Amino acid sequence: MLDVAVGLVVTLLIVGGILIMLGPTTGTLIKRARQIRRARVPSVFQAAQPREPAPSGLNPKTQRVLIAAARLGNWLRSRGQDELARELRSAGGKITSNEPAGLYAMQVVLRRLRTLSLDDKPSQDRLKALTNELRIAVQDRFEQLELLPFKRP
């Protein structure tokens, strides 16, 4: 019984000494300690909650341009056209920060792609299909943003 009493007194003295050393911040530390709640561990048998996709903040037509550019860039990289793929990736990066400048940069890359010719016909046809997909997506976004010059009647 005496051992328990001595242990209790020693514990109180140690806790008191620590509180004295902490000084005036003791009150705020106690409040923070009370606010900390035990993290909930999901049950093994509990169904996982479905996650909602985070909104990207980009216009759907802009997303379409970026997807088409990524598809074309990956295809070009697999065919050894790393420089054009890098330019496409750079233009896509510009679109996310400054959309009109990125769209104009994408048009410049599309002009360079017109001059590209590949050896075999299936590859050339695939290049043409991917380029047309990107060109149409870029034109749609240009029209939506009204960046194209107006045609006079």
90 in a structural domain: yes
| Domains contained in the chain, number | 1
Evaluate if residue 60 carries a pLDDT over 90.
no
138 in a structural domain: yes
Distance CA 72, CA 39 (A): 45
13 in a structural domain: no
Q: What is the pTM of this model?
A: 0.59
Evaluate if residue 50 carries a pLDDT over 70.
no
Distance CA 115, CA 107 (A): 13
Domain that holds residue 70: 60-145
In the structure encoding, which two tokens stand for residue 46, read together? 């509990």
93 in a structural domain: yes
94 in a structural domain: yes
140 in a structural domain: yes
Do residues 101 and 94 lie in contact, with contact meaning Cβ atoms separated by under 8 Å? yes
- pLDDT tens digits, 9-35: 999 999 888 888 888 887 787 777 777
